[in-house]
Amino acid sequence: MRIERDTMGEIEVPDEALWGAQTQRAIANFPVSGTTLPPPLVIALAQIKEACALANKTTGALEPDLADAIANAARQVQTGDYSAHFPLDVFQTGSGTSTNMNMNEVLARLATQALSRPVHPNDHVNASQSSNDVFPSAIHLAAHNELQARLRPAFRELVHTLDTKAVEFTQIVKSGRTHLMDATPVTLGQEFSGYAQQIRRAWQRIDSVQSRLTELPLGGTAVGTGVNTTSAFRRAVYDHLPGMTEAENHFEAHGARDSLVELSGQLRAAAVSLYKIANDIRWMGSGPRAGLREIRIPDLQPGSSIMPGKVNPVICESVRQVCAQVIGNDATIAFAGSQGDFELNTMLPVIAHNLLESIHLLTTVTTLFATKCISGIEPDEETLRSYAEGSPSVVTPLNRYLGYEEAAAIAKQALAESRSIRDVVIARGHVDRGTITLAQLDEALDVLAMTRPPA
């Protein structure tokens, strides 16, 4: 152990630790969950620190060699090699001050080692900054990074996979379903085209938040007034954060986290879409005897510890659980977002944790869904067509010939007697009376034609 000092006095710190006194106090104060803040946030915070060091070099607030040493240390942290030196619990001080100081202390120690002279975590690393503008800026930057680098490609892959299946299944007719009851026919391809569009729209909604997500409170320091910084710093720091812009109004940007709440809401909407798709596929693959058995989902693992040969739709189940978690995360974020008291929201770490977890979970499970489930789906064409042709709802096109009430009577008779609609229409004498011709009857009961609206 070694002795470190801060404004509260001396404290012992493990000799191998890069952090200092304030981090050590936070370790002692917050042994809550055992869950640390996610690596993308630590990386984004290091990116902010690098930008601040370089801006301070530009403005003369820091000597060039000192600023470069801090910036180099921040780049080292961005590699992820120092993750063990960021041990603080998610459920810490609500402003994220503990994690900001954790970063300041680690960078100060790395810079000190590089320069062989003292670098101070507050006076140097934290120059022109406050936890109150740096930490929320890091959340915004981390979310932006993860959306663009990970979630967007994952969604694109799922859309491509669904589109491919939509084309593959273009001619495969099946019974539509409303209220879980038979409805007029659709094609399997039409259903999959709808799924692809859901994911396209999901990304469009998420992407629509970007202009607000990339607007940062950085430069407003403690309460939005920019105390202890300069307009020159604010101009310079954004030169080192491509794609990020300074808040239009620092008091909104400090006191509220509305754009993060908005983003979480769009992630929740994406989860709702994914849930619907996974649930439909789970239903269509149900069986193999007592379910719908319309499609075959790839077999991935034994489904029961007691029932030999049982196989379950495990990827669909994983997707549905992720969706439940994302919806729950959104509830937490929405409540935490409401806790902006005057010039600061003091639930920033839990917002960061839940938001980045939602992005991570949606990214990973979407990729699994595309590669391990959707891409391997095979239709049972015989079952699909038999359901479509056997559905009483195929009587619907006969309305214009026989009327709604007679068509309903035909459907009920066909169902009760386990006969086809065609047989019942003929048996009731409609062809003999000339109400409808055989050609008209066969054309009206063409289930594939029913899936395409008239030109």
Q: Which are the catalytic amino acids?
A: 179, 304
Query: How many C-beta neighbours within 10 Å does residue 415 have?
Result: 15
Burial 197-232 (b: 16+ CB within 10 A, else e): ebbbebbebbeebbeebbbbbbbbbbbbebeebbee
CA distance 92 to 400: 69
CA distance 138 to 144: 10
Is the Cβ–Cβ distance between 154 and 366 less than 8 Å?
yes
HSE of 4 in the Cβ direction (CA atoms, 13 Å)? 21
Is the Cβ–Cβ distance between 243 and 250 less than 8 Å?
no
CA distance 377 to 369: 11
Is the Cβ–Cβ distance between 273 and 198 less than 8 Å?
yes
Here the tokens at position 154 are 């994952």
Here the tokens at position 10 are 């001396």
